[in-house]
Structure 1
Amino acid sequence: MDEIVFFNPGDSIGNFHDHNEAVKTAQIYKQKQEADKKVLVVHGANNQSFDIFLADDAITHSNETNTDSKSNEKPYRVSDKL
């Protein structure tokens, strides 16, 4: 079963057309910057690309603080968790 998560597209670390390139970049990012945080490679909202986000940036009901952010959030399907 697919896991659907919501992110603000402006929080994306990167956008790629190739899944392997996205995973490789996410691994490099995690190694250099945020080794203690989970990085997600997600299938883009347009179903034609892959985006990289920090797992902590996922939008949930518990961390929504601004009603304006709801208009910017988009659903993504998790491809890989690193």
Structure 2
Amino acid sequence: MDEIVFFNPGDSIGNFHDHNEAVKTAQIYKEKQNQNKRVLVVHGVDNKDFDIFLADDVISHDNEKNAVQKPYRVSDRL
């Protein structure tokens, strides 16, 4: 079963057409920038590309006020 999460598209760390490139970039980003934070590689609902987000940027009921939301399907957790 797919896990659907919501993010503000402006919070994306990167956008890629290739899944392997997205995962590789996410691993490098995590290693260099935020070793203690979880990074998610997500697949857009349009199934055309992959985005990288910090797991802390998931939009929840607590932080959704005036947020532009777009649904994503979690592909990898790093």
The TM-score by the shorter chain falls in which range? over 0.9
The alignment of Structure 1 onto Structure 2 pairs a total of residues equal to 78
The amino acid that maps onto 1:50 is: F
Normalised TM-score (structure 2): 0.95
Q: Matches of 1:8 and 1:47 in 2, distance apart? A: 17
What residue number does 1:77 align with?
73
Q: Matches of 1:35 and 1:54 in 2, distance apart? A: 11
The amino acid that maps onto 1:30 is: K
For the aligned residue pairs, the C-alpha RMSD in angstroms reads 0.8
- Segments of structure 2 that go 5 or more residues without pairing to the other structure are none
What residue number does 2:37 align with?
37
Mapping of 1:18-57 within 5 angstroms?
18-57=18-57
Q: Matches of 1:45 and 1:13 in 2, distance apart? A: 18
Q: Matches of 1:43 and 1:81 in 2, distance apart? A: 12
Identity %: 77
The amino acid that maps onto 2:46 is: N
